[in-house]
């Protein structure tokens, strides 16, 4: 098996597909990738080469799990939503076939330093990296709660997994085919209280992440999100994947592939991105009322202060750093 790269950071390797299984509308792939599994942390992604006619660029996918021991030691999982030439091709690769995989890429979710109750919010295939994170958080002794949403039940990945793993879990579908009828953002404010969440982690469509971030900010709960942007290289050299980020020098464009995909949600200047249009979806009126009446004496700046508090309390896992 050929592996290219250095002792730390991402590597490029040829990976055998060990298993392919249907997950409702999605497909799950298990790849033999020992070097990537060893270096990976939740929130990071891999770039997979596709061989559909006319395609050129790799496709980015969140790492949905990495096994270091047991029967499937040295493997990683990805979950695919087939909807285009690259994802269709990957969803069709049979076990035994090989794929060129580059990873792990990007920054991982920072993990809390002290024991916390964490609420993990996943939308669609964005739930996949949340399951991986949930496992890691639980292994470190944190309380793990799940809020998983999708358009319909066929897009809720393996609901038994979060149910088994979490202290508390809840589901939403837009068509009502599973759990609450509606969106994760309908329930989030209430669920933050129910779970006494001290930190929120989220992955899903960017519009969902913008709304989740707003709700968390209003509730004063720090929130880390893993975003998506179109990527040509995935390794920081092409500048195609940028997102406007609040920095000390004002709003600056940062690369999602190396500076993200995980960002502290309050740092993202969604209003300057193309996601504004959907980001400012009607927010639950009850929620606005609650914000107004339920300040607990917090000043408007305290939610930002929480970010500092959170940042101080976490260790940031950088790309490929061996831990």
Ligand X SMILES: Cc1cc2nc3c(=O)[nH]c(=O)nc-3n(C[C@H](O)[C@H](O)[C@H](O)COP(=O)(O)OP(=O)(O)OC[C@H]3O[C@@H](n4cnc5c(N)ncnc54)[C@H](O)[C@@H]3O)c2cc1C
User: By the criterion CB under 6 A, which residues form the site for ligand X?
Assistant: 45, 57, 59-62, 78-81, 83-87, 125, 128, 228-231, 261
Binding status of residue 2 toward other proteins by CB under 8 A: yes
CA distance 33 to 106: 17
Q: What are phi and psi of 30, to 5 degrees?
A: -110, 125
42 or 234, CB closer to ligand FES?
A: 234
Q: Which does 173 bind (CB under 5 to 8 A by kind): other proteins, ligand FES, ligand X, none?
A: none
Q: How many CA atoms lie within 13 A of 112 on its CB side?
A: 27
Q: Which of 236, 269, 283, 318 binds ligand FES (CB under 6 A)?
A: 236
Asked whether position 30 contacts other proteins by CB under 8 A, the answer is no
Out of other proteins, ligand FES, ligand X, none, what residue 274 binds, judged by CB under 5 to 8 A for its kind, is: other proteins
Query: Should residue 12 be labelled a site residue for other proteins when binding is judged by CB under 8 A?
Result: yes
Q: For the sheet containing 199-203, what is the strand order?
A: 180-181, 168-173, 143-150, 117-123, 199-203, 223-226, 262-264
Cα distance between residue 303 and residue 219, in whole Å: 8
**Number of other residues whose CB lies within 10 A of the CB of residue 309:** 12
Q: Which stretch binds other proteins (CB under 8 A): 146-154, 171-179, 234-242, 307-315?
A: 234-242
Q: Which does 178 bind (CB under 5 to 8 A by kind): ligand X, ligand FES, other proteins, none?
A: none
Q: Is 252 in the site for ligand FES (CB under 6 A)?
A: no
Number of residues that bind other proteins (CB under 8 A): 39
Give the end-to-end CA distance of the chain in Å, rounded to a whole number: 25
68 part of the interface to ligand FES, by CB under 6 A: no
* Two structure tokens written together for 296: 């607990």
The full DSSP string for 238-288 is: S--SEEEEEETTEEEEEETTTT-BEEEGGGB-GGGSTTHHHHTPPPPHHHH
Backbone angles phi, psi at 98, to 5 degrees: -115, 145
Residues 68-107 touching other proteins, rule: CB under 8 A, are 100, 102
Binding window for other proteins (CB under 8 A); candidates: 4-12, 134-142, 153-161, 176-184: 4-12
# of chain residues touching ligand FES (CB under 6 A): 12
Residue 40 or residue 79: which is nearer to ligand X going by CB?
79
11: which strand partners?
Answer: 5, 103
* Ranges within 191-230 binding other proteins (CB under 8 A): 229-230
- Indicate which of other proteins, ligand FES, ligand X, none lies near residue 9 (CB less than 5 to 8 Å, by partner kind): other proteins
Q: Does 269 bind other proteins (CB under 8 A)?
A: no
User: For ligand X, which is the closer residue by CB, 134 or 261?
Assistant: 261
Helix (H) or strand (E) holding 35: helix 34-39
CA 175 to chain centre: 23
209: left (phi over 0), alpha (psi -120 to 50) or beta: alpha
Chain-centroid distance of CA 166 in Å reads 17
Q: Is 255 a binder of ligand FES (CB under 6 A)? A: yes
Closest to other proteins by CB, 3 or 196: 3
Interface with ligand FES (CB under 6 A)? 231-234, 236-241, 255, 257
Interface with other proteins (CB under 8 A)? 1-7, 9-12, 35, 49, 54-58, 100, 102, 229-230, 232-243, 252-253, 258, 273-274
């Amino acid at each position: 098996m050929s592996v290219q790269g250095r002792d730390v950071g991402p590597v490029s390797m040829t990976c055998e597909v060990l298993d392919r299984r249907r997950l409702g509308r999605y497909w799950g792939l298990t790849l033999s990738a020992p070097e990537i599994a060893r270096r990976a942390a939740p929130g990071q992604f891999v770039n997979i080469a596709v061989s559909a006619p006319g395609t050129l660029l790799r496709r980015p996918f969140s790492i949905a799990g990495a096994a270091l021991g047991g029967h499937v030691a040295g493997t990683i999982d990805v979950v695919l939503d087939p909807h285009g030439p690259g994802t269709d091709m990957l969803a069709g690769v049979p076990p035994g076939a090989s794929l060129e995989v580059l990873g792990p890429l990007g920054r991982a979710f920072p993990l809390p330093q002290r024991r916390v109750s964490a609420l993990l919010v996943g939308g669609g295939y964005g739930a996949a990296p949340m399951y991986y994170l949930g496992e890691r958080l639980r292994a470190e002794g944190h309380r793990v709660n799940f809020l998983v949403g999708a358009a319909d039940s066929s897009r809720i990945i393996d609901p038994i997994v979060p149910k088994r793993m979490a202290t508390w879990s809840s589901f939403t579908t837009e068509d009502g085919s599973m759990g609450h009828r509606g969106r994760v953002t309908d329930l989030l404010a209430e669920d933050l209280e129910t779970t006494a969440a001290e930190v929120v982690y989220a992955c899903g469509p960017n519009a969902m992440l913008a709304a989740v971030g707003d709700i968390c900010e209003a509730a004063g709960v720090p929130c880390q999100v893993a975003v998506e942007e179109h990527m040509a290289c995935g390794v920081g050299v092409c500048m195609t994947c940028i997102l406007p980020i609040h920095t000390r020098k004002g709003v600056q464009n940062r690369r999602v592939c190396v500076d993200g995909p995980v960002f502290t949600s309050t740092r993202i200047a969604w209003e300057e991105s193309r996601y504004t249009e959907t980001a400012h979806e009607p927010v639950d009126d009850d929620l606005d009322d609650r914000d107004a009446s339920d300040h607990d004496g917090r000043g408007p700046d305290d939610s930002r202060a929480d970010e500092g508090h959170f940042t101080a309390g976490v260790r940031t896992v950088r790309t490929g750093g061996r831990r």
